[in-house]
Amino acid sequence: MLKKLFGLDKKEESKEVEMPEADGKDLLASPANGEVVPLSEVPDPTFAEKMMGDGVAVKPSEGLIVSPVHGEIVQLFPTKHAVGIKTVNGIEVLIHIGIETVNMQGDGFKAFVSEGDKVAKGDKLVEFDMNLVNEKAESTITPIIITNGDAVDSLEKQENVQATGGETIVMTVHSK
């Protein structure tokens, strides 16, 4: 009776994500609402000089990060400031929320996914407190990096546009 009263009798619904077929092309949407800018505008040479890989960055207008692709969460940093996703075509995407946010030790970040989760484009990944990031870190600018560039045949970027998270295509990646 108590279980029924408090809704504890309901089985947890597992979310099924239908994965698209691998076709050698990934369309990456912006992971956040905001302005899409070149990596050269990121105030960190590791990203600006493409040491981790090529991509774009978003200046988010709010503290919500969504999946830019259909794929699998392969890494969620313990501090929740960065998420790694592998697409069905094998492209590895790193979303790094803000600059110098690792020093926040997860303060102000809330993750909605775990390693091994399958995600669809637009699924909520992480919420973060923009005011806290602005106060405690260097920037809220969020790089989206292709970390396994050796698997990429070509990369087309859409920069200097206003984007809607999970909808506006910011990169087209053709895998080898």
What is the set of active-site residues?
96
Residues near 25 by Cβ (< 8 Å), separated by ≥ 6?
Answer: 89, 172, 173, 174, 175
What is the CB neighbour count within 10 angstroms for residue 137? Answer: 19
Tokens 């029924």 belong to which residue?
4
How many CA atoms lie less than 13 Å away from 69 in the CB half-sphere? 30
Burial of 173 (0-12, 13-18, 19+ CB in 10 A): buried
What letter would DSSP give residue 160?
A: S
Tokens of 45: 């040479």
